[in-house]
Chain A
Amino acid sequence: MPPGTLGRRLPPAVAALALALAVAAAGGSAPQRTAPRTAPRTAPAGQTTAVRAAAGDCTPENMTRSVPPSADQSGTKVRQIVQRGRLIAGVDQNSYRWGYRDPVSGRFEGFDIDLVHAIAKAILGDPDKVRFMAVPTAERIDAVRSGRVDLVVRTMTINCARLQDVAFSTAYFQAGQQVVVPGTSQARTVDQALHGRTVCAAEGSTAQEELRRNPRGATVRLVGNQLDCLVLMQLGRVDATMTDDALAAGQMAQDPTLRLVGDPLTAEPYGVAMNRADTDLVARVNQVLTDYRNGPWQRSYRTWLQPYLGRSAEPPAARYLP
């Protein structure tokens, strides 16, 4: 090969790797990373009036309203799942404490995974009748729309843009942007943690938007995903990280010297995403969540999140469409 051949061949591969590396651990799935889609899919008439109404005049105030709960199992989608004998759930393999595949046992576990098991138990009578599919952040909506998965439980924030494409259950967790600092930091407030410091955020994340809106005197360093922020923080290249508290819990679980500073800066409700045509499944999942909010939710929270989020949280109240 003449001089430079390596060079000519490499850059695309290198670029691809770069991108890939950037996206790879986006398991954390900071909300609103996917570009909003504008072309809404037309749902079959009559079946989804309520869902369509929700998408039509969506505001941050009413976006968490979902289809009223129902234990009825005679709908098309739920019947299909029962006949198949397995629930196909799109999850994350990479988000510690939320959806994570233990490399030793090979089992999926986390706060999101508990909810999937609860849904399988309600519909199929067995919490283990689940097939987990790892879905990349950017493919969550496609996976639901194409029917490759029945539902996605993957730290997915409910917002109006996404409601154009998918249906959401009622909110099952309330997350918000927070600032994480190393244990050595003297900062007591968000402003102290950020002013004159370098803060890390994932590119395209809500944290980036929040810092653009109000930088609080900080220099922003953008990386592919929030776990890269933890690497940079451990290597002493950034002073703080802004991410949502759900992902912050995952960071603190891996590095006990970290701590949260101040209160959440935003409100981001998580929901279970399903196909807009599957109103029966949305209603069934909302029924599961009604029961889940009283007991199982708190148990799951204590197991996976309480040690790190350090507050005795309660699930957000369910809100339904009229």
Chain B
Amino acid sequence: MTVTPAPGGAPAPARPRTRLLRALGTPPGRLRLAGLVLAGLVLAFGVTAGWQTVRRAQSADAVVERSQPLSQDAAEIYRSLADADTTAATGFLLAGGEPQSVRRRYEQDLDRASQLLARAAARTTASSDSQRWLSALNEQLPVYAGLVETARSYNRQGLPLGGAYLRFASTLMQQQDQLHPDDPYRAHGMLAAAQKLYEAQTGQLRRDYTGARAVPWAAAVLGTLALGALVRFQIGLSRRTNRVFNPGLLAASAATAAALLWLLAGHGAARDDLADSDRHGAAPLRMLDQARIQALQCRGAENLNLVARGSTTQYAERWDSVTRQLAGSDGSGGTLADSLRLAAGDTEGTARVRAATADFRSWDKLHGTAAASSDDGDYQAAVDATVGQGAATTDRAFERMDHELAAAAAHEQRDFEAAADHGRGALSGLAAGTGVLAVLATAGALLGIGRRLAEYQ
């Protein structure tokens, strides 16, 4: 078999390459290449800046519109459930004398919890872990409510079985689901599921914060490179041509510099505002959530201690340990002190937390009076000092404290929203703006080089 080499096969493909190389060797060729490189750099900068800004703006939107509200909703679900449990015990203690306000508060807690569960379910991805915790809570809530109603009706007949049902319900809320011990999402009780939900949402909030506050390094580097290349090219050009300015290239440099400055300033401002929204909004808010929950746990322990009618010292011990977490061993530490520290520099926030701390002190004092009555065997006096009709009850003191903490939390939520909106505002228009500037800069560079090229013809 004979192989016939293609006639002139080797030189033929070499011809365009040589022509290209030869073209690049000439001044106009080099100019064309430089024009391509400059335009490419400026366009790449524009595209990267736009893309990175959009990504961060999306994360900032997610913080404000999704993860922070969801995380706060999860905290509120937890709080409503814990409040329902505490309020159920209050109503139980008052038995037939339960005032409408207590019953209404319990009902509002359940309403609020189920509304928030529905809202969270609608906003959470169907396959996520959060969704499974949510459906566990959705299944347990009506069971819990049923157990509490059973407890109420037995209690009204004066039967201790009511107390057993209330403790069974409270165990479902706080500790374990004795009806579904093998379901991992239900076994540890409702508050544990609410806790998991809260952790998942707060983790998402952290991720969104991180995403929104990431420095756009790629865009910054490309912008600096583009600007540097433009400046360098113009210096070289002015040396060769003795002309000081090339209007097109000058406009390109100005547009690139403006875009770069806007990018850095916009992201810097957004980062500051978002950090501010966390430091002066979301972080104090989380601490206040925790203070409210601990106050509820104290209240629950106080009530259940009376429901247990002196048959255990566990609730008294629980009161001691949770009040230490809430206010420290001398009433001036703990979560309340942490909340005060986080509210530093904020007049309203500080005033609210101080008022709440004072309310806690009077609550603690009243609790001591009630406990002394109980120790003396005067059960009725202890119940009266706790949930009675008078003004000086631990229930009133708790209500006042919770009111202050709720107001402080609402205040921090507003602070969060204002700062986070500001941060989002700093990014708005940035993607489009840098895009337009980059297009202008590209056009300027091409025009400027085209004008110089024309001088060769």
Contact = CB atoms under 8 A, between A and B. Distances in A.
A132 B374 CA distance: 11
A136 interface: yes
Interface string B374-401: 0001011000000000000000000000
A106 to B, nearest CB: 5
How would you classify the secondary structure of chain B's contact residues: helix, strand, loop or mixed?
helix
Query: Which residue, of B158, B290, B317, B322, has the highest number of chain A Cβ atoms within 10 A?
Result: B158
Interface stretch (B20-28, B133-141, B168-176, B404-412): B168-176
A93 B164 contact: no
23 contacts: A2-B202, A3-B206, A12-B321, A14-B192, A17-B174, A17-B175, A17-B315, A20-B318, A24-B311, A26-B311, A94-B160, A94-B163, A94-B308, A96-B161, A101-B379, A104-B95, A106-B380, A139-B313, A228-B168, A231-B161, A232-B178, A237-B179, A253-B159
B271 interface: no
A223 B444 CA distance: 82
A12 B297 CA distance: 12
A117 to B, nearest CB: 16
Nearest to A4: B199
Given A102-B158, A231-B161, A237-B178, A1 B289 contact: yes
Nearest to B95: A103
Contacts of B294: 9
A55 interface: no
Interface of A: 1-7, 9-10, 12-21, 23-27, 92-96, 100-104, 106, 131-139, 225, 227-228, 230-232, 235, 237, 250, 253-255
A94 B311 CA distance: 8
B307 interface: yes
A134 B170 contact: no
Contacts of B179: 235, 237
B176 A134 contact: no
Contacts of B312: 20, 23-24, 26, 136, 138
A230 B171 CA distance: 16
Given A16-B321, A134-B379, A24 B159 contact: no
B311 A13 contact: no
A21 B377 contact: no
A131 B198 CA distance: 49
For the complex of A and B, the 8 pairs showing the least CB-CB separation, nearest first, are A20-B314, A134-B310, A93-B309, A227-B164, A24-B308, A23-B312, A18-B175, A1-B286
A92 B318 contact: no
A6 to B, nearest CB: 5
Nearest to A104: B158
B318 A132 contact: no
Given A3-B199, A93-B309, A136-B311, A25 B160 contact: yes
B236 to A, nearest CB: 54
B154 interface: yes
Nearest to B206: A3
Nearest to B201: A3
A12 B319 CA distance: 12
A237 to B, nearest CB: 7
B315 to A, nearest CB: 5
Contacts of B301: 17
Contacts of B311: 23-27, 92-94, 134, 136-137
B309 A134 contact: yes
B449 interface: no
Nearest to B297: A13
A27 B309 contact: yes
Given A21-B170, A26-B312, A254 B159 contact: yes
Contact of A101 (B176, B309, B313, B317): B309
Nearest to A106: B380
A16 B325 CA distance: 14
Nearest to A236: B179
A18 B155 CA distance: 21
A19 to B, nearest CB: 5
Nearest to A139: B313
B228 interface: no
B164 A228 contact: yes
Interface string B125-156: 00000000000000000000000000000110
Contacts of A94: 160, 163, 308-309, 311
Contacts of B202: 2-3
B215 to A, nearest CB: 23
A297 to B, nearest CB: 24
Interface string B309-338: 111111101100110010000000000000
Query: Which residue, of B168, B174, B311, B313, has the highest number of chain A Cβ atoms within 10 A?
Result: B311
Given A7-B199, A14-B192, 12 more contacts: A6-B198, A18-B175, A20-B314, A21-B171, A21-B175, A25-B163, A27-B160, A96-B160, A104-B95, A134-B311, A227-B163, A235-B179
A225 B311 CA distance: 12
A140 B125 CA distance: 55
A254 B19 CA distance: 105
Given A18-B174, A20-B312, A25 B167 contact: yes
